Structure 1
Amino acid sequence: MIPSRWSSSSRPPSPPASSSSASSPPAAPSPVSGSAGAPGASRRTFVLTSALATGSLLAGGAGTARAQARARAGSAGDVTVRLPAPTGPHRVGTVTLYLVDRSRPDPWDDAIPVRELVVTVHYPARSVRGCPVVPQMTPGAAALFQQIDVHIHGLPRSGVDWSATLTHAHGGAPAQPVRRPVLLHSPGGGDPRTLGTALAEELASHGYVVVSLDHPGDASEVEFPNTTAYRDRPYRTTVFRDDPRKEPRVARTMIETRIADLRFVLDRLAGLAAGRNPDALGRPLPEHLGRALDLRRVGCYGHSAGGTAVAEALYEDRRFAAAVNLEGYLSHPPEGPGQEGELYPVARYGVDRPLFLLGTDGFIGQEAARKELEASWSAMPAHPRGRIRRRRIDGATHWVFTDYAALAPQLETAGLMTADARHALVGSLPPAVSVPVVRRHVRSFFDRHLRR
């Protein structure tokens, strides 16, 4: 669910002149549409040709992507935006894992016989000596982001070096050999996992192991560490072209896939805790990472479509002990005009484990979409066995739950984003207020239910 994510005034970028011989990314299944649960489809026209242009940009592979990213980014005067620092007592380590589920094919591309995932793990580090901080996005991912995301979020088309933003996490740092609660994070529909970096770092700094997923074919961009016989490029871009709630089959596929992704990652974490390396390429893991996982205390949180997925995953899989839904529908899209969407089982039957519904007063979209969200959320307290908590953040809008809460005001201050565009994206709250509020809500909920 991503309200009004893609503006009808946006136009996909043209392919670079030097890329005429490049082949296109895999064709999207038809029909395929935009971000899960997104209302306001008349304002969202992210066209597949945007991904095709990106395909031209990165046709030469990872090395070409990095070279072109550096050539585009970092020019004199480009702004570097900064992520807010985590507030916890622990230094943060991080590692990226490439996971392959050979039991199911990719739902978005018939040519891919397996389900590939890329996840980032943030964890309390024992030491960060000799382990430099990592960027929020790799040069290749930043190049993709510049081609796709800036055109659909009202972000500046130039003047920002997206590859220069550093995190506060140290790559490959040894983990503290202490069992920690584990949180799985599913980002918004069409969004990359990197847009949830600040919240993941915050939680890790307070003693959680946080695993953020990309959902390839759904996420705007996913950069892989390799190519394969069925994927000849080290990246995939989104297949979404419009609002999935206009195409109920597509919306169902997206949420079902996300739930399956979450459950598969949890399976792989169990192997990691048992001493096995889940990375499909067998790349080295940070020392003690497996020993840091307490899989008796597992929660999940997600934004938008990710919120829908984690809430339903809580219902379907008892390994999840608690979940936070950050403004995601709990109903399927209506099958036709004037109809009501079928509730997901979590809303229809309730759940006997804690579920937190956190929204904003600035939920963007058509009135019908707001009513759909309210109807699906209001069904939850009706269940006598339910353990539901619900809160609202005033002065905020849908993307306040992402890194844009901190980044958009910086772009406005630099004169690269209008006040109206910033308010539409994250609301009027200053980041000094909105960032701590979101952090406090999410962390206090998991502290209450996973630290027993």
Structure 2
Amino acid sequence: MSHVRVNPDHRGPARPSRRAVTVSAVLGAVLAASGTDVATAGPASAGVRLRLPAPTGPHPVGHTTWYLVDRSRRDPWDGTVPVRELMATVFYPARSVRRHPPAPQLSPATAAVFGALGPYQHPGLPPAGVDWAATMTHAHRDAPAVPVRRPVLLYSPGGGDPRGFGAGLAQDLASHGFVVVTVDHPGDALVVEFPGTTDFRGDVIRTTAFREDPRSNPATFATMIATRIADLRFVLDQVEVLAAGGNPDAGGRALPPGLARAVDQRRIGVYGHSAGGTTAAQTAYDDRRAGAAIDLEGYLDHPGEQPGEPGPLFPVAEYGVNRPLLLWGTDGFPDRAGMERAWRVVLAHPGGWTTRRELHDAAHWAFTDFAAFAPQLQQAGLMTAAARTDLVGAIEPARSVPAVRTGVREFFVRHLGA
């Protein structure tokens, strides 16, 4: 069993790993390779402040973070890491939020890295002029939870996206009575921040291991999805630990009062966007603890060995699933035909367990917080109309945000209860 010693004062490890690098080194390498002067990135505190839409439910929302360590697995993206580390945020109905300040969407360090690297992941995002650290959620740090058993939902973000960009939907679900756990997949996510260093990881920040679209490499894509599924199943284990009165946090961070009594391990749902949607659907097939799932525009087949060549189906598509599965896409997804092949197969299975929806005048990231952010960036003159359309579509957030929130919530209420 590997020992994990968290050093929360961030002063560095007892034994630095070969892959341990500073945030400035990561930013410098990527920006230099792109031909961008580091100085043009600007400080994280400069620029436009983006706003998340407020939750619509009757409950105030609490927020806490977990550092999770799976000692049964090595990290698949870094051979120097002998365990699988994860970070998660839990949103939940709060009993009271008095004296508990709102939590930021991204921490200052995460925001600084995303501000510099995000435009390379999402072309059209501005390289400067946005204070990514200034966006606040409507969820309150470590507020006491309502001690009533609630359905639990796990969220897996799209490939490369930090879990923070699913905060808007997660906090809205929590305001309507769900406990929502959003999960980062380190090495996959563009940037993940840990609570401290360890003897094998010399930086609190870890950036993505990907240097190309994982779907362009069948082996990488297979490892990516398999790792994500194992991550979610481990998080489900930790929900069971919590429900039994234990503390899942590997660093022993105190739990908000009442949280252990707020989770119902018998009512579990999973949802995800893009690669996270693939993960959610296949997790529902693999793990019977997941009672319902939503795939927000994620492929259900592997890429082919050659460009344009069809690849093998995931088992959830090939064999179907006997639990409710919603496939939800947009009419602006560039590879609708490629995605449709596997979606048609899973929809054709008998039993009526799988249904589909489509969000019109929308593009791929309309299922994330970029649905609200892209129009704000366009209005501020920091994003072109074409870039906004490529990212989220022409749909206005007054339509897209309520549509996604209501659709996801009603699906899980119908199949898991409230």
Structure 2 residue aligned with 1:346: 316
Structure 2 residue aligned with 1:37: none
Residue 343 of structure 1 deviates from its aligned partner by 0.5
Structure 2 residue aligned with 1:378: 344
1:225 to 2:195 alignment: yes
1:264 to 2:234 alignment: yes
Query: Contact 1:351 / 1:386 at 8 angstroms: preserved in 2?
Result: no
1:409 to 2:402 alignment: no
1:319 to 2:289 alignment: yes
Structure 2 residue aligned with 1:46: none
Query: Which residue type is aligned with residue 351 of structure 2?
Result: R
Structure 1 residue aligned with 2:361: 395
Structure 1 residue aligned with 2:165: 195
Residue 438 of structure 1 deviates from its aligned partner by 0.8
Query: Which residue type is aligned with residue 234 of structure 2?
Result: F
Query: Contact 2:61 / 2:138 at 8 angstroms: preserved in 1?
Result: yes
Residue 381 of structure 1 deviates from its aligned partner by 2.1
Distance in 1 between residues matched to 2:216 and 2:120, nearest whole Å:
21
Query: Contact 2:363 / 2:390 at 8 angstroms: preserved in 1?
Result: yes
1:135 to 2:104 alignment: yes
Structure 2 residue corresponding to 1:429, chosen from 383, 387, 395? 395
Structure 1 residue aligned with 2:43: 72
Query: Contact 2:59 / 2:94 at 8 angstroms: preserved in 1?
Result: yes
Distance in 2 between residues matched to 1:129 and 1:271, nearest whole Å:
28
* 1:283-328 deviation line (CA, Å, top 9, x unaligned): 1110010100001100000000000011000000000000000000
Distance in 1 between residues matched to 2:268 and 2:24, nearest whole Å:
35
Structure 2 residue aligned with 1:53: 26
Distance in 1 between residues matched to 2:186 and 2:44, nearest whole Å:
25
Distance in 2 between residues matched to 1:280 and 1:398, nearest whole Å:
35
1:168 to 2:168 alignment: no
Query: Which residue type is aligned with residue 124 of structure 1?
Result: P
Residue 24 of structure 1 deviates from its aligned partner by 10
Residue 146 to residue 83, structure 1, CA distance change in 2 (3 Å): same
Residue 400 to residue 196, structure 1, CA distance change in 2 (3 Å): same
Structure 2 residue aligned with 1:278: 248
Distance in 1 between residues matched to 2:99 and 2:67, nearest whole Å:
24
Query: Contact 1:98 / 1:280 at 8 angstroms: preserved in 2?
Result: yes
Residue 25 to residue 427, structure 1, CA distance change in 2 (3 Å): farther
Distance in 1 between residues matched to 2:243 and 2:273, nearest whole Å:
27
Say what the alpha-carbon RMSD is for the aligned residues.
2.1
Query: Which residue type is aligned with residue 354 of structure 2?
Result: I
* 1:379-426 deviation line (CA, Å, top 9, x unaligned): 012211340110101100000000000011001111111111111100
Distance in 2 between residues matched to 1:223 and 1:420, nearest whole Å:
32
Query: Contact 1:311 / 1:346 at 8 angstroms: preserved in 2?
Result: yes
Structure 2 residue corresponding to 1:120, chosen from 68, 82, 89? 89
Residue 180 to residue 346, structure 1, CA distance change in 2 (3 Å): same
Q: Which runs of 4+ in 1 moved over 6 A?
A: none
Residue 339 to residue 171, structure 1, CA distance change in 2 (3 Å): same
Structure 2 residue aligned with 1:61: none
1:26 to 2:32 alignment: no
Structure 1 residue aligned with 2:76: 107
What TM-score comes out, normalization by structure 1 length? 0.84
Distance in 2 between residues matched to 1:211 and 1:244, nearest whole Å:
25
Query: Which residue type is aligned with residue 283 of structure 1?
Result: R
Residue 417 to residue 197, structure 1, CA distance change in 2 (3 Å): same
Structure 2 residue aligned with 1:253: 223
Residue 55 of structure 1 deviates from its aligned partner by 7.1
Query: Contact 1:51 / 1:237 at 8 angstroms: preserved in 2?
Result: no
Residue 246 of structure 1 deviates from its aligned partner by 1.9
Query: Contact 1:361 / 1:396 at 8 angstroms: preserved in 2?
Result: yes
Q: SS of the residue aligned with 1:380?
A: helix
1:85 to 2:54 alignment: yes
Query: Which residue type is aligned with residue 438 of structure 1?
Result: V
Query: Contact 2:20 / 2:203 at 8 angstroms: preserved in 1?
Result: no
Query: Which residue type is aligned with residue 187 of structure 2?
Result: G
* 1:136-195 deviation line (CA, Å, top 9, x unaligned): 111010011112113332111111111111110000000000000000000001110001
Query: Contact 1:216 / 1:236 at 8 angstroms: preserved in 2?
Result: yes
Query: Mean Cα displacement is larger for which, 236-245 or 145-154?
Result: 145-154
* 1:109-158 deviation line (CA, Å, top 9, x unaligned): 00000000000000000000110001111101001111211333211111
Residue 71 of structure 1 deviates from its aligned partner by 8.0
Q: SS of the residue aligned with 1:297?
A: strand
* Identity of matched residues, %: 60
Residue 301 to residue 393, structure 1, CA distance change in 2 (3 Å): same
Query: Which residue type is aligned with residue 279 of structure 1?
Result: D
Structure 1 residue corresponding to 2:120, chosen from 126, 151, 154? 151
Q: SS of the residue aligned with 2:267?
A: strand
Distance in 2 between residues matched to 1:211 and 1:416, nearest whole Å:
32
Distance in 2 between residues matched to 1:287 and 1:27, nearest whole Å:
36
Query: Contact 2:18 / 2:80 at 8 angstroms: preserved in 1?
Result: no
Query: Contact 2:17 / 2:202 at 8 angstroms: preserved in 1?
Result: no
1:305 to 2:275 alignment: yes
Structure 2 residue aligned with 1:4: none
Distance in 2 between residues matched to 1:292 and 1:145, nearest whole Å:
33
Query: Contact 1:27 / 1:109 at 8 angstroms: preserved in 2?
Result: no
Gap regions ≥5 residues in structure 2:
1-15, 31-38
Residue 288 to residue 332, structure 1, CA distance change in 2 (3 Å): same
Structure 1 residue aligned with 2:11: none
Gap regions ≥5 residues in structure 1:
1-22, 29-49, 58-67
Residue 338 to residue 184, structure 1, CA distance change in 2 (3 Å): closer
Matched residue pairs, number?
392
Structure 2 residue aligned with 1:451: 417
Residue 219 of structure 1 deviates from its aligned partner by 0.2
Query: Which residue type is aligned with residue 169 of structure 1?
Result: A
Q: SS of the residue aligned with 1:116?
A: strand
Residue 237 of structure 1 deviates from its aligned partner by 0.3
Residue 25 of structure 1 deviates from its aligned partner by 7.9
